[in-house]
Amino acid sequence: MFTRTLIAASLLLTGTAAISTEASARTGWQRHHPARTHINHRIARQQVRITHQVRQGDMSRTEARGLRQDLHGIRQQKRAYARSNDNNGHLTRTQARDLNQQLNQTGGQIRN
């Protein structure tokens, strides 16, 4: 009985995965496109740096709030760029460069 249940569950999961893969292939949307992933990782690292600076007492909560708002704006800009393209959610080189420059400016405001 357990074997039948296990086989049925695995077939169900395999079918679900195939349907979701087919649907994403039709739309061409890639949530984890390399440029988007790179921007997301940079934002996450900067958020960790901000938190560390606040905990160390090197940055006030007000300064941290402002920097986090800047990072939120960059993330929103990334999403807007991805939605506006006919590249299925990909960022163009110009858009990635723009976001990286914004992240460079924000990162420069975070003390080491």
pLDDT digits (tens, 9 = 90+) for 19-29: 444 444 444 55
**For every residue of 28-56, which 3-state class applies, written as one string?**
CCCCCCHHHHHHHHHHHHHHHHHHHHHHH
pTM for the full predicted model: 0.70
Among the listed residues 69, 63, 52, 72, the one whose alpha carbon sits nearest the alpha carbon of residue 112: 52
pLDDT value of residue 35? 86
pLDDT digits (tens, 9 = 90+) for 3-57: 555 455 555 555 544 444 444 444 455 566 788 899 999 999 999 999 999 999 9
Percent of the chain exceeding pLDDT 70 equals 70
Residues 14 and 59 reside in one and the same domain: no
Q: What are phi and psi of 86, to 5 degrees?
A: -90, 15
Q: Are 100 and 43 in contact (CB under 8 A)?
A: no
Q: Are residues 37 and 15 in the same domain?
A: no
| C-alpha separations of 98 from 33, 63, 85, 95, 101 in Å | 17, 23, 15, 5, 5
Q: Which domain range does residue 72 map to?
A: 33-108
Residues 41 and 9 occupy one common structural domain = no
Residues 47 and 85 both lie in one domain: yes
